[in-house]
Structure 1
Amino acid sequence: MARIKPQALLIQSKRKKGPTRISATTILSCNLIVLLLVLSLIATYRHWLQRAREQTGSGLSTSEHVKDVVDSNKYDLPGFAVLNTSKGYITIELFKDASPETVDKFLDLCQKGYFKGMPFHHVIKNYVILGGHSPGTESIEDWTSKVKLHSQLTTSPKHEAFMLGTTKVKEDSKAFELFITTAPVPVLNDKLFVFGRVIRGEDVVQEIEEVDTDEHYRPKSPVGIIDVTLKQET
């Protein structure tokens, strides 16, 4: 048997123990695969996170949108009305929160010109001035029968002097009368809707109150509303 030389054995041993070399192409391919997997996971996570946020926010956005619309409509409504009367101007603050339905009807009628030329058909000193296109004499007589009692009753803040209101009528009625109190009128709690108060022009109200009237409290000379101007602010 031929004897192997020591030098040849050393070379053969090094070849067996040496690590296997990996090519640069293989390393690059593996890195690209790992990178693509990581990017795919990140993209998937972001997609589901965004979808969850949209589903959660959709319910909130709907309710918030409705609330914003209601609030904006509420605050967009005029808060003041200026009555241009034959005696001067009367500025009214409208109770949008306390009497929304009555205020809405009043504003709608203002825009339709309902109050243009409306007369004050009854004037009762130290009580009320009442305007409308169709005077109700029966209701006036009923009111005046209680004039002497009003000083003996407890006064509600909404029925103080210089308050604006309308009479309670049937829902199908197209009539809309206006009254302005010139004294506390607690006896009319069951007859009137108060939906505003005079903040400027009290002297004009008092001047109308002083006009001469007949025995039925009807002014002897015409006095009434020329026009109404709506304002957001005074």
Structure 2
Amino acid sequence: MKKTPLTLLPCLLLMAFLSVNAWADQVQVLMKTSMGEIEVSLNKEKAPKTVENFVQYARDGFYNGTIFHRVIKDFMIQGGGFTESMDKKQTRDPVENEANNGLKNRRGTIAMARTSAPHSATAQFFINHKDNGFLDYPGQDGWGYAVFGEVTKGMEIVDTIAKQPIGVTGGMRNVPKSPIIIEKVTVLE
């Protein structure tokens, strides 16, 4: 067995510390849906306000019983704002747009949905089904859409959701014909 020289020991300890420290800025979330489970890792370092906002909604049980109300294959799946009966849920004040954080709207990342107003994101989010660079900062409006994490398990569930038949419901387009329910969002401690 090869022995590690003592001069390398401080370097190895530093690498171990940095590796553990990198995970300290991640928040793990489990999203149970009617089609399966999706695990998401949220990046507190790059999007602290957005992660805090999402985590608070999750801890309050806000997302439980909401649906993926906008599904566009080869683009994204959006949820977190409407009930199965298409009633829009009351939200807190909007969160500051953190799209200028270096994270990109790539396949499997989660980002905040918003209106045309840059700082209008509240509770709704979307998971990118493919790379969507046109949504990155600065985007078409000088702001872009704030990515705040990525799917770590369950991307096959996202793919399945993205393939569901869609139609028009309550005047909204791209609504799945059969509701896809977000049963519960849990912050894993």
Q: TM over 0.5, yes or no? A: yes
| 1:96 Cα deviation after fit | 0.9
| 1:192 Cα deviation after fit | 1.4
CA contact (8 A) 1:123 1:209 kept: yes
Question: Structure 1 residue 208 and structure 2 residue 161: aligned?
Answer: yes
**Distance of aligned partners of 1:188 and 1:226 in 2 relative to their CA distance in 1, 3 Å threshold:** same
For 1:88-144, what per-residue CA distance to the aligned partner results, in whole angstroms no more than 9, with x for missing partners?
Answer: 000001111000110011111111111111111110001100113258xxxxxxxxx
Find 1:163's aligned residue among 109, 127, 132: 109
Q: TM-score, normalized by length of structure 2?
A: 0.65
Extract unaligned runs of 5+ from structure 1: 1-73, 136-155
**Distance of aligned partners of 1:219 and 1:96 in 2 relative to their CA distance in 1, 3 Å threshold:** same
**Distance of aligned partners of 1:97 and 1:172 in 2 relative to their CA distance in 1, 3 Å threshold:** closer
SS at match of 2:176: coil
Match of 1:180, as an amino acid? I
Find 1:177's aligned residue among 124, 138, 147: 124
For 1:24-70, what per-residue CA distance to the aligned partner results, in whole angstroms no more than 9, with x for missing partners?
Answer: xxxxxxxxxxxxxxxxxxxxxxxxxxxxxxxxxxxxxxxxxxxxxxx
SS at match of 2:38: strand
Match of 1:117, as an amino acid? G
Matches within 5 A, 1:43-82: 75=24, 79-82=27-30
What is the number of equivalent residue pairs in this alignment?
Answer: 139
Structure whose CA Rg is larger: 1
Aligned twin of 1:120: 68
SS at match of 1:90: strand
Higher normalized helix content (fraction of residues): 1
Q: TM-score, normalized by length of structure 1?
A: 0.53
CA contact (8 A) 1:131 1:178 kept: yes
Higher normalized strand content (fraction of residues): 2
